[in-house]
Amino acid sequence: MEEEKKNKLSMVVFSGDMDKLFAAFSIALGAAAAGMEVTMFFTFWGLRALKKKVATGKSLFGRMLGMMYGGDINRATPSKMSFGGVGRWMFKKMMKAKGVTPLPELRQTAIDLGVKMYGCQMSMDVMEIPKEKMLDEVQGCVGVAFFLEEARKSEVQLFI
Amino acid sequence: MNEEITVAKTLDLKGLLCPMPIVKIAQAIKEIEIGEVIEATATDPGVLADVPAWASTSGNEVVSLEHGDVITFRVRRIK
């Protein structure tokens, strides 16, 4: 029997790039504003969007990763023209001048509108980012089966 | 003109860029009763396409949408 799809958006956020996170949160907010249910599943580099501004990693490699790719959503760099942080600075300046809402505020608004955010447990294990180092608003740490169950009940599915 | 329409709430969205005008409208429309109308002014031309699209997805009604020096639109809460 065919299950009915809901007025819902399910999204995989794989990227931790600043520009792609803007896209992900803008779409999530647009959907939530239009009354859609929204689930965001953050995996791999995308975990940055849920991280607190704390050091991560236990093993040597884990700590190295934490240092080289550390920081929270504010440290996200654009996917093009990053130039070791100069690109981030430039885009932040340009966006501020135009009045674009910054990423942390977009994320907070998403939380306020009831967007559900999940972390990928496997990526968190690999990257040594435990749940305590992520935002308290993260609903849970889940796997691929969970995402697929959400996605197949959703009219709109995206991978960013 | 729509003289007979009473506006229950006004909203200033000038200077806001996507997706915030839609977010603010969605939040504000919950504060008025069904059947009531909200009037908003905006400057981002993106709202010309986005407000009707949002209304269609969310099941509300665009009463008017005018592009002068600023963009003025009215939305009626349907549900």
Chain A CB within 8 Å of residue B34 CB = no
Q: How far apart are CA B73 and CA A26, in angstroms?
A: 22
Pick A30's closest partner by Cβ from B15, B19, B59. B19
Strands (E), chain A: 6-13, 37-42, 116-120, 140-142, 154-159
Two structure tokens written together for A18: 């600043």
For residue A143, what are the CA distances in angstroms to A52, A55, A147? 21, 24, 7
pLDDT tens track, chain A, 160 positions: 567 889 999 999 999 999 999 999 999 999 999 999 999 999 999 999 999 998 899 999 999 888 888 789 999 999 998 888 899 999 999 999 999 999 999 999 999 999 999 999 999 999 999 999 999 999 999 999 999 999 999 999 999 9
Q: What pLDDT, in 10s, does the model give residues B50-71?
A: 999 999 999 999 999 999 999 9
Known catalytic residue at B18: yes
Domain ranges of chain B: 7-76
Q: How far apart are CA B4 and CA B2, in angstroms?
A: 5
Which CATH architecture is the domain B7-76 placed in? 2-Layer Sandwich (3.30)
Which pLDDT score is estimated for A70?
Answer: 79
Residue type, B26: A
Please pick, among B12, B17, B18, B70, the residue that the annotation labels catalytic. B18
Is the domain spanning A6-159 CATH 3.40.1260.10? The answer is yes
Instruction: Looking at chain B, list the stretches that DSSP marks H as alpha helix, in order from N- to C-terminal side.
Output: 20-29, 47-58
